[in-house]
Amino acid sequence: MTDPPTPRSLDVAAPLAIAINLSAGGAPRSGVDGGSVALGGLRPHPHAATSRPPRQPPHQRHAADSASDTRPPAAGEAGLARRLARVLQPPAALLRAALEPLAWPAPLFDYQVTGINALLSRDALLLADDMGLGKTIQAIAALRILVREHRAESALLVVPASLVSQWRRELRHWAPELTVSTVRGPATDRSWQWNTPAHVHLTSYETLRSDYTENPRSPPRRRVWDVLILDEAQKLKNRDTEVSRKCKQLRRRRAWVLTGTPLENGLDDLASLLEAVVPLADGETPPRLGAGPALLERHRSLQLRRRKADVLPQLPPKTVTRIVLPLEGPQRESYERAERDGVVHLRETGAAVRIENVLELIIRLKQICNFCPMTGRSVKLDDLRERLSTLEAEGHRALVFSQFTDGKYGARAIETELRASRPLLYTGDLTPAERDARIRVFKEQPEHKVLVLSLRAGGQGLNLQDASYVFHFDRWWNPAVERQAEDRTHRLGQTVPVHVYAYTVEGTIEERIDALLREKQMLFDDLVDDVSIVLKERLSADELFGLFGLTPPASARSS
Amino acid sequence: MPIPYREASDLDALGAAGYFKVDPAPLVPGYLGALFLINARGEPIEFTYNRIETPHPFLWRRDDVEQYAARQLAISLLSLCPKLPRLILCLAGEVGDSLFSRDVRLSVPVCRVVRAGDPAPTSGAAPVGAGPEGRSGDMAADLSWIPAIPAEDSLEAQLLRELRAHELLLEPFERASAGLREVYGARAQAAP
């Protein structure tokens, strides 16, 4: 019997086969192909086949760098190494645990682990948790595990433009080893950003709309994404919009759709949303869903929704208070004059009057409810200033939302008038970099007591637990949108009770519309102030004209 | 684009644990061996593998050939593995207590893990109870150390506590078997 010769050391860069033949006969002989594989450096990269070398985190790269042999691996051994790296990973249950090895930067709640498991176990899921429960974290964690288990190599993450930077931060925080290519900016930049090898391509709905073209080689459509994640997916509720159509046409093996408000207006919205919650193979066309029992059944089967009160009983309570203020002095006079003149104008227009004329008047009156056009005074601002002085003395900070952004009736005017509180302004006309800077400054510099936000720009996705008071300077007529804005602060990480104050001026259009909507329990489209045609579908011509005691002409009824 | 990073944690200082696994070879008489190194978080570090053929098994007593195969595999894998583990774990049901106490002497402690149904450790091994920190998945496992139980505050003992806390006393042996199947199963299927 002969002892086997000592095998040579083998790493990925060395030849795979090592011959250790012993003498034939009855003696055992060691195998012909023993080897050793350094696994730390062998995480297969999704774009290993490209000419660009894959990037790896330092802790992974170190193991590969430490190999003594620097020759490139042969194709066969690299393939074996990849397969080994896959089968030798820790079991999924261990990866999902709050302990190591993935070293989550913060403990995952049980309900979040449940959500992660749901995302991992299904090809398509509508994750519709209440706002603030960490849908972002769950999606990132699930994606991280999928990549770790080598079940996914490429993900497309589409989010509102205002949230791109926040998603980048969250990805860096919760999945530091994932490479991210953020696609935004000029077309020349986007071209290489799409082509950059990465685990995640992160872009906005607007950019996707631009870059998904009829050309089948256009970057977003030339590949089948392992995971498609659509954040704040209520943007897809209108199936006729270009971005909605394009998102649904993206080929994907998994579709994760995130929204806290899957049902804003009606079943058509829901149907449109669910059309995106399905894998789409090459050559397939997106489904077209109609209202009916089948839709509701599909909804039940695809949706995972948890409410804060159920899963986070420890979250501090949120108290909503309606503040009804009287309109006085010049502001009252300005309001009454505008309404009187507006009604006269509507009457004078006669049969040619259109619903849009009524909507324009509503907006005009709402603006005057904010600030007097003659004096710049504001009953709301007086009240707000007084409350803020008390809150600031107690060390609290506040968010103030307005649907208007301008310097006469909206967010800019509020910011100017509250300068004693060193307010910061966050509106949609800021560049993404400016928006990030404002949020960062607000979080890091507590001397800024107030953040004034336009509802449309600041109402989604931001994490602003640093403030515990929210003021709605004017009313947005969609409660779901208002709740979204409030939940910027009433979310995970909030440690003190959240107080929400909503201003309404009595005896004005604000109060009348509020009463009308309460009575009918209807939801306005969130584009009400764009005089969206949807508004006409929400309120009848009789109801809209009735706000001013008018009877609509036949032409308005039919329009 | 951000540069991914991860801060080194204290767990990295504990080093790696090596799982020595011996499986019967598929298709031909023989055995497969693996030395699978993981860190305290369960992440794979190194996978060293080899096989040994045992033709003409009728010439051997079963216990002898198993013992010989395990010894030769252990020698070759330990020679081959480019990294030094902090400790080595093996299954009492696969590796006799003489292998690392008499046949092969190591500079690192060896922990034989006794599963339910495995032969109990015999002389030369220092048995250690599962301990209060054991978790449900590993409660069935008993341990015996060669040459002796590491000191309570030693890195070896800390590493074992971490492995136990992560339920990694037995599970990595399954991964090692999966790795061996990946290496040799695929080759066997690919062979003409």
The pLDDT assigned to A459 comes to 66
Q: Is the pLDDT of residue A161 over 80?
A: yes
**Residue A455 reports pLDDT greater than 90:** no
Q: Which residue has the higher pLDDT, A280 or A214?
A: A280
pLDDT at A258 over 60: yes
Average pLDDT, chain A: 76
> CA-to-CA distance for A57 and B43, rounded, in angstroms?
15
Specify which of A109-113, A196-200, B184-188 reaches the highest per-range mean pLDDT: A196-200
- Is the pLDDT confidence value at A4 over 50? no
B49-70 residue pLDDT tens: 998 887 766 666 777 788 888 9
What pLDDT is stored for residue B118 in this prediction? 62
Whether A73 has a pLDDT exceeding 80, the answer reads: no
Please tell me which of A99-108, A547-556, B109-118 the model is most confident about, judged by mean pLDDT. Answer: B109-118
Q: What is the pLDDT of residues A374-415, one digit of tens each?
A: 999 999 999 899 888 888 877 888 999 998 999 999 999 999
- pLDDT over 60 at B96, yes or no: yes
Report chain A residues whose CB lies below 8 A from the CB of B36: 88
C-alpha distances in Å from residue A151, one per residue of A147, A203, A441, B47, B103: 6, 22, 39, 21, 43
Measured between beta carbons, the chain B residues lying within 8 angstroms of A7 are 50, 76, 79-80
pLDDT at A108: 82
Per residue in A430-444, pLDDT (tens digit) is 888 888 888 889 888
Binding-face residues of A in 145-184 toward B, CB within 8 A? 168, 172, 176-182
Cβ within 8 Å of residue A211, ≥6 positions away: A183, A190, A194, A203, A218, A219, A220
Distance from CA of B59 to the nearest CA of A (A): 7
Residue of A nearest to B32 (CA): A31
Please state whether beta strands A29-30 and B126-128 pair in parallel, antiparallel, or not at all (unpaired).
unpaired
Q: Give the DSSP per-residue string, A55-120.
A: P--HHHHHHHHT-S--SPPPHHHHHHHHHHHHHTSPPHHHHHSSSSSS--SSPPPHHHHHHHHHHH
Q: Touching check for A295 and chain B: CB below 8 Å?
A: no
Report yes or no: A537 and A350 within 8 Å, Cβ to Cβ: no
Output the DSSP codes for A113-124. HHHHHHHHH-SE
A2 touches chain B (CB under 8 A): no
pTM of the model: 0.52
The verdict on ipTM greater than 0.85 is no
Tokens encoding A456: 């449309």
The helix/strand/coil state of A483 is helix
Task: Please answer yes or no on whether B6 and A30 come within 8 Å at the CB atom.
Answer: no
A204, burial (CB in 10 Å: exposed 0-12, middle 13-18, buried 19+): buried
Distance from CA of B52 to the nearest CA of A (A): 4
Does the pLDDT value for residue A72 go beyond 50?
Answer: no
**Residue A297 burial (CB < 10 Å; 0-12/13-18/19+)?**
exposed
Q: What is the mean pLDDT of residues A146-169?
A: 87
Query: Where would I find the H helices in chain B?
Result: 62-80, 155-165, 171-180, 186-190
pLDDT: is A208 or A516 the higher one?
A208
Residue B189 CB neighbours (<10 A): 9
Q: Check residues A523 and A318 and name the one with the higher pLDDT.
A: A318
Q: How far off is chain A from B84, nearest CA to CA, in Å? A: 13
Residue with token string 């590493």: B159
Share of chain A above pLDDT 70, in %: 75
- DSSP for residue A252: B
**Mean of the pLDDT values across residues B90-102?**
87
For tokens 């049902």, name the residue: A263
Check pLDDT > 50 for residue A12: no
> CA A401, CA A405: separation in Å to the nearest integer?
10
Evaluate the omega torsion of the peptide bond into residue B29 and state whether it is cis, within 30 degrees of 0: no
Binning pLDDT at 50, 70 and 90, where does residue A10 land? very low
Q: b/e per residue, A177-186, with b = 16+ CB within 10 A?
A: bbbbbbbbee
Q: Which residue of B has its CA nearest to A199?
A: B4
How confident is the model at residue B134, as a pLDDT? 33
B65 to chain A: closest CA residue: A28
**DSSP bridge pairs for A400:** A452, A471
DSSP-derived pairing of the beta strands B44-53 and B30-39 = antiparallel
Mean pLDDT, range A179-194, rounded to an integer: 91
Query: Over the stretch A498-554, which tens digit does the pLDDT of each residue have?
Result: 888 888 888 898 888 777 655 544 433 332 222 222 444 556 777 777 777 777 777
For chain B, say whether A40 makes contact (Cβ under 8 Å): yes
Residue B5 has its nearest CB partner, among A25, A176, A180, at A176
CA-CA distance, A73 to A96, in Å (whole number)? 32
**Which tokens is A59 given?**
């802790």
Structure tokens at A255: 């579709």
Contact B47 A88 (CB under 8 A): yes
**Average pLDDT rounded to a whole number, residues B41-45:** 86
